[in-house]
């Protein structure tokens, strides 16, 4: 689990500007995705001040601080800049006051900013911190994008996950991660997977070794991350096992507190697993759009049974 994000990394990833000494960012860490807009604090009330959060100044906070005397403004800024305060963030390219910069430098708090409006800036930084501070889990599998659906291939080592991914890439789909997939929860309903940095864009094929998918197939053959919407578990065919033939057996796998649907596909000679995965992706999308082939089959079966019952009843009455 990632416990913090450095302010310097956040500035780099979000193209923020720095108003005071950049060296102040090196040892500053952000540990929560919550952002505070100091409203009541500017009036001098600090009893419940969340100093561990990034403090965001928009037009309202900046305008109010300008209405204060220079001495009062400096005193309030000194209270805002505490040892655990990660940074002061300013929107709309608003120039920070001399008192703010002085107080921040004295307490070694970086002052950073952006040209974005306050609400958009707050949303962008919150989403960034949510993603980077989220609990993570590393799992064995291959993650591919098939028709825009993030599909996680699982199964025992040697079952053919990487080879199946290679065939899918040749058919125009995209690789996200091979062998190890870093999984984290983006929100209450979304699980996202990505490759560890050391394995980014790489695919291992037994007998050949490591190949660089981006180098061989182009930038369109890879993605940096994807939502995991469907899990396909590959397993060796067993004549003794009863596999789902209609689609009524619903299985799932839980990551953190989010359930992801899972299906099992048996592997044996003669089965084209890549095409099966493509069909599974299209079928998943169709269900999301409201069309369920299994339900249609059950409805048709019910109508057939009803027609046969009526026919039998009419035949008995005609005797």
Would residue 245 show up in a list of annotated catalytic residues for this protein?
Answer: yes
Q: What is the rounded CA–CA span in Å between residue 271 and residue 273? A: 6
HEC letters along the chain: CCCCEEHHHHHHHHCCEECCCHHHHCCCEECCCCEECCCHHHHCCCCCCCCCCEEEECHHHHHHHHCCCHHHHHHHHHHHCCCCCCCEEECCCCCCCHHHHHHHHHCCCCEEECCCCHHHHHHHHHHHHHHHHCCEEEEECEEEEECCEEEEEEECCCCCHHHHHHHHHHCCCEEEECCEEEEEEEECCEEEEECCHHHCCEEEECCCEEEEHHHHHCHHHECCEEECCEEEEEEECCCCCCCCCCCCCCEEEEECCEEEEEEEEEECCCCCHHHHHHHHHHHHHHHHCCCCHHHHHHHHHHHHHHHHHHHHHHHHHHC
Count Cα atoms within 13 angstroms, Cβ side, for 299.
6
Catalytic residue among 28, 37, 53, 161: 161
Q: What is the rounded CA–CA span in Å between residue 156 and residue 198? A: 22
Would residue 161 show up in a list of annotated catalytic residues for this protein?
Answer: yes
Residue numbering of the annotated binding site for Mg(2+): 162, 204
Catalytic residue among 140, 170, 171, 252: 140
Catalytic residue among 189, 197, 245, 319: 245
Catalytic residue among 21, 130, 179, 292: 179
Residue numbering of the annotated binding site for ATP: 155-162
Residues whose CB falls within 8 Å of the CB of residue 277, separated by 6 or more in sequence, listed in order = 144, 146, 151, 153, 164, 168, 232, 265
Instruction: Tell me the chain's radius of gyration from C-alpha atoms.
Output: 28
Catalytically active residues are 140, 161, 179, 245
């Amino acid at each position: 689990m990632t416990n913090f994000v450095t302010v310097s990394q956040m500035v780099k990833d979000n193209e923020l500007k720095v108003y005071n000494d950049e060296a102040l960012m090196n040892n500053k860490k952000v540990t929560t995705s919550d952002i505070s807009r100091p409203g009541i604090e500017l009036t001098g009330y600090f009893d419940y001040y969340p100093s561990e959060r990034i403090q965001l100044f928009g037009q309202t906070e900046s305008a109010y601080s300008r209405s204060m005397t220079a001495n009062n403004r400096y005193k309030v800024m000194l209270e805002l800049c505490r040892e655990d305060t990660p940074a002061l963030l300013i929107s709309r390219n608003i120039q920070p006051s001399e008192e703010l910069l002085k107080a921040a430098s004295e307490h070694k708090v970086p002052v950073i900013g952006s040209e974005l409006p306050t609400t958009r800036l707050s949303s962008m930084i919150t989403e960034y911190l949510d993603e980077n501070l989220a609990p993570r889990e590393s799992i064995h599998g291959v993650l591919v994008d098939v028709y825009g659906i993030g599909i996680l291939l699982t199964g025992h080592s040697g079952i053919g996950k990487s080879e199946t991914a290679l065939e899918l890439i040749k058919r125009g789909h995209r690789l996200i991660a091979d062998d190890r997939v870093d999984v984290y929860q983006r929100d209450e309903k979304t699980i996202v997977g990505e490759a560890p940095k050391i394995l980014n864009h790489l695919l291992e094929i037994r007998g050949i070794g490591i190949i660089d998918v981006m180098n061989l197939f182009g930038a369109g053959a890879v993605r940096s991350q994807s939502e995991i919407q469907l899990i396909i578990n590959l397993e060796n065919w067993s004549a003794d096992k009863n596999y789902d033939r209609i689609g009524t057996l619903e299985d799932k796998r839980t990551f953190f507190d989010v359930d992801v649907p899972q299906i099992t596909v048996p592997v044996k000679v003669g089965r084209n697993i890549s095409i099966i995965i493509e069909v599974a992706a299209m079928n998943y999308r169709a269900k999301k759009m409201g069309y369920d082939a299994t339900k249609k089959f059950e409805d048709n079966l019910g109508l057939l049974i009803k027609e046969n019952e009526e026919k039998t009843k009419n035949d008995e009455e005609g005797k």
